[in-house]
Amino acid sequence: MASEEIIQVIDAQKKFGNNTVLDKVSITCKKGGIYGIAGHNGSGKTVLFKCICGFLHLDQGEIRINGKCLKKDFDMIDNAGIIIEEPAFLRGWSGIKNLEFLYMIRNPKNRKHLNNMMEKVGLDPDSKKRVGQYSMGMRQRLAIAQAIMENQEILILDEPMNGLDKNGVADMRKLFLELRGEGKTILMASHNKEDIDILCDEVYEMDMGVMLKLYK
């Protein structure tokens, strides 16, 4: 991996009332690496990701993206594909129509590109099936397509394997490794140790808002 630091979290602290959900958390993610956050539900992973994206404010500490300080130099991350919780798709539309609608907020229409993104995640771009009729695994594949479709340099993925069967997990592992090879920086949370062990260059473990250890 290159030494360029893309994401830096420095002594991050976050409380909700008297409950400390991030307790002096620090991580560094460098360009072209996959970084894993392992931990049970409630360990603080999702809150950390929301803070990195700018959806939540830290009480103390600092988050830097490409050397710029979040909430000082910019308000929200804009160079990242994100999966945090289940995306709010338009359930009456097909998968490709959902992607097209979201893609065209910031980009010119490019159906060929979006067809390719659907195929990358194992979905049929020509299917008229409504997203409301998708299985959980199909919705997760569509969420991954949405995260990668704008070719962002950072991917922030909270439990990206949720709902996927064995073949789906294998497909997405292969895709994430390909994206790392393209120089993407991937930060992912998972409760599945096998996903973390196979994919990640470095692993942080969280419990009750505390970063316990770093291995690999």
Tell me the pLDDT tens digit for each residue of 63-119. Answer: 999 999 999 999 999 999 999 987 789 999 999 999 999 999 999 999 999 999 999
The pLDDT assigned to 160 comes to 95
Residue, of 153 and 216, whose pLDDT is higher: 153
The predicted-structure confidence for 158-178, as pLDDT tens digits, reads as follows: 999 999 999 999 999 999 999
DSSP 139-155: HHHHHHHHHHTT--SEE
Q: At 29, is the secondary structure helix, strand, or coil?
A: strand
Region 201-212: mean pLDDT is 91
What does the pLDDT average to over 182-200?
92
Asked if residues 164 and 9 have their Cβ atoms less than 8 Å apart, the reply is: no
1-78+188-216: CATH topology? Rossmann fold (3.40.50)
In 52-61, which positions are buried (b, 16+ CB within 10 angstroms) versus exposed (e)? bbbebebeeb
Q: Residue 1: which pLDDT band, with cuts at 50, 70 and 90?
A: very low
Span 198-215, average pLDDT: 89
Beta strand 80-83 pairing with 154-158 = parallel
pTM of the predicted structure, to 2 decimals: 0.93
Across 42-47, average pLDDT: 92
**Beta strand pairing status for 202-207 and 68-69?**
unpaired
Q: How many helices (H) and strands (E) does the chain have?
A: 6, 10
Which amino acid, residue 43? S
Determine what percent of the chain is predicted with pLDDT higher than 70.
98
Mean confidence (pLDDT) of the chain: 94
Going by their DSSP bridges, the two strands 5-16 and 60-65 should be labelled as antiparallel
More confident residue, 56 or 212: 56
| Beta bridge mates, 7 | 29, 65
Determine contact, residues 203/215, Cβ cutoff 8 Å: yes
Rounded distance between C-alpha atoms, residue 21 and residue 9, angstroms: 15
pLDDT on residue 3 = 57
